[in-house]
Structure 1
Amino acid sequence: MRKINTNQMEEISWNSPKGKFRGFGKEVSEGLGRKPGSTDLRERHPFDVEILRIAPGQIPYPYHSHSAQWEFYHVISGTGTVRHAAGRTPIEPGDAFLFEPGQPHQLINDGTADLVVYVVADNPIGESNYYPDSDKWAVRSPERRVIRSEALDYFDGEE
């Protein structure tokens, strides 16, 4: 059995070059031994678990969909909004929701406290992402390539 205490895990942070996107997280699966970026099934888990924290007024990622990945979300604390193909839906503690492949989504903390969400993804090999707002694709590889018809920076067209 592998066991960790997420309260003792270091929180990572990320932000886009111009600051439009910012988030914090604890990569629980990596804490349990998953090797990031590995395509060796013995070194990866069948799902990824993250504790995502979004500060008030922040958006962690651009609006995007996945080609193969399912994502399950469970709100632990705080309030916010999920942007999706049908519009926007408010979220609060206890809410659980699911996005299947091809469904664009984005979490937004428009509340006054940190929004904390458990994220569970099924971690498929060969995953790519589509970004409707900037009409580009990200293809997962060791170098993470973002393309339209030429290679692009991840945040190109987002800020």
Structure 2
Amino acid sequence: MAKKFLKRWMPDPAKIRGHASLQFLGTLLHDPNLFHLNRHSVSRAFLVGIFVCFLPMPGQMAVAALGALWLRGNLPISVALVWISNPVTMPAMFYACYQLGLWLLNAPQRPFHYELSIEWIMAELGFLLPPLLTGTLVCALFFSCVAFLTINQLWRWNVSRVWHKRSAERLARKRNNDA
């Protein structure tokens, strides 16, 4: 079961609460949903983590942690999910988001030539940023909502499957005992 697998890899909540650099959060880290593996906290963690992984900004892990605190989602899962956008996947993700933004804004495709200089970045930022931000926000909303609903439904399906399996085992034991 995925819950047992995740529990083995989860950090110790007491260790996180006692970390010196997190003392400024006070009692915020004492919410049990931040570390429990239940349907609500895990689906919220996916909502936060997937949303933040699409945002083109530094400090995604800190933003995901704050989002998990605010929505009371599983903190380690939401922070880990931002690593979907890592240095290997980020160029493809942001290029796809940029293309989606161009299409949504009905903006023309500009010829692209890259130059590593501050002048080039400042000149192109005005053209690149609106489609990129539009595309990333749309993708972040879409994929985070899909992840939230999918995790929610998969969790329900798994619980239902386990209940039916237990019920069938009880019925089989009862039949064996009666025979």
Q: Same fold (TM over 0.5)?
A: no
TM-score (norm 2): 0.22
TM-score by length of 1: 0.23
More strand per residue: 1 or 2? Answer: 1
Q: Larger radius of gyration, structure 1 or 2? A: 2
